[in-house]
């Protein structure tokens, strides 16, 4: 089978064969006795050189400088780069100099993995380096890495910057583009800090089902599949809310989950069909307590991640210090459209929406109409952290009615830079009211609303056993990480964002060679 290799790929395969012919296994199984990272050596060697008389590092070759019998090699491990000084007669102490003259000089390429053992010293130019006593081949790279070059006029060439390539080949992106790895390190730090905040309060981290018989807890279009053994349809969860509430019914005072949710919807800079959400439920609290808790937590996390309460995002300075503004949603709509929607009928709101340029359809109920008006006309105005509060009942089927006005609910959404980051309720715990809300969602389904909620009879049964007053919240973790790392696209904070299918050329060739089109035509790379 012809793999249609490039010239460099051909050379690398020839080098691979030559390494094997010299008696060296280019993919050895032995454990590598790594005892230091590059970053540690560079930061600690000057102060305590006696600790670095015997080191072993491993990583990718990123540069080679051949100077006759001596050479320099730069390798990159998970922490950064370090230089190794290689003397031919030291790594080849016998008469046979093949390993240096052929393997190192000719057959090892940028991207190959090697280990270096020796002692640390300072070069004449003052660079911390490893004086190599032993070098070992660990893995031969068959595809060349992009080599970014800057010419004499300061222009960059061959940069690996195309978003399509970067997201499909994140493994290359992480290697060659500075700062990409740091984004994902910060992502993990955000998760850890949030866990710390919840654990300090005594809340329990839990896991709930991803495959659900009823996709409840949110208004969204689900992905549907089929379980063969049980012969039932199943859905990838759109939310874990209803299961976490069941745990509050069961007697836990506080539970949370970092959950993968899935919604079969459009994709843009803030939406991916698979995303991570943090959901937390705390008994005996309300949405006002949750606002106070959230703004304090966000302030603390921001300071620990960035060193300041202020962040620069999309050219704007955003102050994450508490307290945050609190604006009722109908007040926001009145401010930005001039229309007061309180007490208006569905027909009246539809007419208002059309008058201000909102596209409406027959299946849209009162709640969706208000949501569309707010989304189109109001969201963009809330750059600084703002709690949008007190949503109409029709917009919040799982939320408790407002204590002061039963036309509204005790709900808030946190908006930052015009994007929803969090959504929280004083949770509805009246089973009769909840059943009526679900029945209204059924009527919306009958009108053609594909995002209307299903009726979850088991959840209603759980509520009938009694759920204490509870506040719950969901935080879009991907969007929060975007904010804290200054990234304007969700694809930048996901290791492997969803992409269109990529047909692999090698697979097409294999189809032709083996005549198994029916099987391999579906073998695609959907990173």
Sign of the alpha-carbon dihedral angle for 15, 18, 20, 23: negative
Low-confidence stretches of the chain (pLDDT beneath 50): 510, 513-527
Give the per-residue pLDDT at 155: 75
- Strand 149-150 with 128-139, pairing: unpaired
Report which of 375, 372, 370, 376 is spatially closest to residue 390, judged by C-alpha positions: 370
Domain span(s) for CATH 2.40.50.140 in the chain: 7-139
For residue 38, what are its two tokens?
């590059």
Q: Which residues of 438-472 are buried (b: 16+ CB within 10 A; e: fewer)?
A: bebbeebeeeebebbbbbbeebeebbeeebeebbb
CB under 8 A, 24+ apart: contacts of 499-508: 499/164, 499/167, 499/168, 499/526, 499/527, 500/526, 501/525, 501/526, 502/168, 502/526, 502/527, 505/4, 506/3
Is 180-324+384-493 a CATH 1.10.357.10 domain? no
- Indicate whether this model's pTM tops 0.85: yes
Give the per-residue pLDDT at 519: 35
Coil vs helix vs strand at 184? helix
Tell me the C-alpha distance between 288 and 218, whole Å.
Answer: 21
Domain span(s) for CATH 3.30.930.10 in the chain: 180-324+384-493
Give the per-residue pLDDT at 514: 46
Give yes or no for a contact between 39 and 27, defined as CB atoms under 8 angstroms apart: no
Tell me the C-alpha distance between 271 and 21, whole Å.
Answer: 51
What φ, ψ does residue 339 adopt, rounded to 5°? -110, 130
Please state which CATH class domain 7-139 belongs to. Answer: mainly beta
Q: Where are the beta strands (DSSP E) in 320-372?
A: 325-328
């Amino acid at each position: 089978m012809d793999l249609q290799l490039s010239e460099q790929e051909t050379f690398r395969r020839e080098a691979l064969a030559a390494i094997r012919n010299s008696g060296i296994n280019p993919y050895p199984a032995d454990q590598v006795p790594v005892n230091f990272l590059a970053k540690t050596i560079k930061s600690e060697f000057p102060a305590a050189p006696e600790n670095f008389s015997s080191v072993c590092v491993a990583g990718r070759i990123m540069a080679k400088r051949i100077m006759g019998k001596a050479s320099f090699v730069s390798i990159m491990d998970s922490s950064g780069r370090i230089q190794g000084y290689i003397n031919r007669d030291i790594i080849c102490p016998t008469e046979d100099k093949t390993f240096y003259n052929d393997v190192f000089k000719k057959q090892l390429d940028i991207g190959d993995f090697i280990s270096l053992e020796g002692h640390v010293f300072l070069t004449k130019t003052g660079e911390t380096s490893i004086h190599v006593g032993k070098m070992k081949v660990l893995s031969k790279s068959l595809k060349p890495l992009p080599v970014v070059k800057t010419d004499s006029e300061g222009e960059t060439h061959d940069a690996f910057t195309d978003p399509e390539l970067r997201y499909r080949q994140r493994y290359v992106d992480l290697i060659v583009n500075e700062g990409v790895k740091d984004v994902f390190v910060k992502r993990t730090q955000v998760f850890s800090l949030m866990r710390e905040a919840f654990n300090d309060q005594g809340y329990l981290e839990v896991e709930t089902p991803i495959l659900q018989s009823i996709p409840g807890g949110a208004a969204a279009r689900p992905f549907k599949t089929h379980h063969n053994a049980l012969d039932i349809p199943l859905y990838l969860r759109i939310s874990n809310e209803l299961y976490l509430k069941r745990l509050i019914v069961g007697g836990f005072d506080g539970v949370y989950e970092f959950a993968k949710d899935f919604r079969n919807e459009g994709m843009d800079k803030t939406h991916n069909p698979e995303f991570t959400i943090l959901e937390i439920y705390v008994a005996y609290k309300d949405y006002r307590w949750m606002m106070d808790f959230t703004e304090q937590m966000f302030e603390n996390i921001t300071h620990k991640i960035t060193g300041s309460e202020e962040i620069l995002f999309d050219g704007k300075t955003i102050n994450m210090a508490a307290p945050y503004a609190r604006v009722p949603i109908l007040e926001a709509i009145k401010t930005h459209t001039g229309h007061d929607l309180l007490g208006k009928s569905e027909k009246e709101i539809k007419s208002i929406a059309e008058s201000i340029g909102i596209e409406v359809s027959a299946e849209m109920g009162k709640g969706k109409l208000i949501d569309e008006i707010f989304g189109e006309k109001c969201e963009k105005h809330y750059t600084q952290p703002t709690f949008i509060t007190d949503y109409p009942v029709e917009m919040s089927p799982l939320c408790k009615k407002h204590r002061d006005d039963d036309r509204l609910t005790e709900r808030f959404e946190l908006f930052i830079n015009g994007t929803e980051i969090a959504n929280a309720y004083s949770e509805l715990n009246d089973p009769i009211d909840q059943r009526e809300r679900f029945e209204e969602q059924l009527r919306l389904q009958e009108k053609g609303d594909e995002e209307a909620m299903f009726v979850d009879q088991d959840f209603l049964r759980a509520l009938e056993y009694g759920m204490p007053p509870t506040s719950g919240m969901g935080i879009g973790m991907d969007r929060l990480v975007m904010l804290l790392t200054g990234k304007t696209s969700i694809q930048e904070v996901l290791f492997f964002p969803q992409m269109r299918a990529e047909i692999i050329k090698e697979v097409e060739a294999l189809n032709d060679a083996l005549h198994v089109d029916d099987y391999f035509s579906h073998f695609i790379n959907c990173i």
